[in-house]
Amino acid sequence: MSDPPAPFSSYRTEVRAEWLDYNGHMHDASYGTVLSEANEELFAAFGLSAEYRATTGAALYTVEYHIRYLAECALGQVLSAATIVVAADARRVRLYTEILDHHRRPAATGESLYLHVDSSLGRTVAMPPDRQERVQHMVAAHARLPRPAHLGLGVGAGRGGSGDR
Amino acid sequence: MTDERETTSYEGGGSHPLVADGPIPAPLRLHRATVPSAWVDYNGHMSESCYLLAFGDNADAFFRYIGIDEPYRAGGHSLYTVETHLHHRREAGEGELLTMTFRVLDHDQKRVHVFHEMFRGESDVLLATAEQMLVHVDSQAGRSAVIPKELAERLTAIHRAHAELAVPDVVGRPMRINRL
């Protein structure tokens, strides 16, 4: 296997009209859409995306998502994403994804935890060995990447008392 | 572009702010919604970002409860979300009724720390929670701004009424892979 991209950063998009809110900026929920789309590309690289779900009935389910909103995004703005696979075991994957603006400055960060669930059994199951191998290959490649200071902190941590953005 | 953007069920509805000395439910129950077909994915489950839409509507209901509506925003101030931490517990399907609670965990001069719960219908089956940090901003300057006195008094009254509630165990808890 060749070295996986570190961080994983294939995702590109432009802010769509339906993503905007009352004041013409990207809606809170649309940051969630962008993070989901970006992470879905990573799952596709693992072989854990739509085709896998359709053929096996298993999928990665989101159990936690911690989003930090850092900058407003406007219609047509080009966004990309950079994802670190922070940790993973046979049934779980933890990701850290930055949404980047056209200057590569983070507009939002998302920390997420996924469980591999067999939908027919309704419980977590181990990923197939070849998928685990791909995931662990990326965990190893991403181990050398610096971890942001706010990773693994709760809401309101790492912010000054002023609340300045 | 205004036709196709994201809207909340409360937009344009103005506000009916609470009377500070009146009774304040703990928690607040301001919003309920039925999952529309547009919110479900290929397997009939509610999509991840639609939980954020539902919690966003719940927050908007709260904003109107404290007096943040279109005229307030036109005056140049608003509450912006700076952080959201979602916990997904169970899935929601198309046509399902979602009932929401909302509580104020804390607030200071510029920030409001809040917590939402989403339940299945009228049951006590918890589907998801959201912990959020909101910041009062001057929208023109793009900077945080002190919450005006009238609003701060309402927040204090709500915070006081909600102090009797047990703090949910997920509040402030960081994400760890060694814990489910």
User: For A132-157, what is the mean pLDDT?
Assistant: 92
Q: Is the preceding omega at residue B174 within 30 degrees of 0, hence cis? A: no
pLDDT of residue B35: 96
Please report the residues numbered 102 through 131 in chain B whose beta carbons come closer than 8 angstroms to any beta carbon of chain A: 108-111, 113, 131
User: For B156-168, what is the mean pLDDT?
Assistant: 94
How does pLDDT run across A54-82, given as a tens digit for each residue? 999 999 999 999 999 999 999 999 999 99
Residue A162 predicted with pLDDT over 70:
no
* B27 in A contact zone (CB under 8 Å): no
pLDDT of residue B145: 97
pLDDT of residue B75: 94
∠ Cα A142 A144 A146 (to 5°): 95
pTM for this structure? Answer: 0.91
∠ Cα B64 B69 B72 (to 5°): 130
State the average pLDDT for chain B: 90
Chain A closest-CA separation from residue B51 CA (Å): 8
How does pLDDT run across B85-127, given as a tens digit for each residue? 999 999 999 999 999 999 999 999 999 999 999 999 999 999 9
pLDDT of residue B16: 67
* B161 in A contact zone (CB under 8 Å): no
Distance CA A82, CA A100 (A): 8
Please report the residues numbered 101 through 160 in chain A whose beta carbons come closer than 8 angstroms to any beta carbon of chain B: 111, 113, 115, 119, 152-157, 159
User: For A19-43, what is the mean pLDDT?
Assistant: 94
How does pLDDT run across B1-43, given as a tens digit for each residue? 344 677 777 877 777 667 656 789 999 999 999 999 999 987 7
Chain B closest-CA separation from residue A37 CA (Å): 10
Confidence tier at A29 by pLDDT (50, 70, 90): very high
* Token pair in block for residue B85: 């931490």
State the average pLDDT for chain A: 91
**What ipTM goes with this model?**
0.90
Instruction: Give the residue from B27, B36, B14 showing the smallest Cα distance to B117.
Output: B27
pLDDT of residue B5: 72
- Percent helix, percent strand, percent coil in chain B, to nearest 5: 25, 30, 45
Of B83, B108, B139, the CB nearest to A155: B83
Of B86, B110, B180, the CB nearest to A65: B86
pLDDT of residue A137: 97
Contact call for A154 and B4, based on CB within 8 A: no
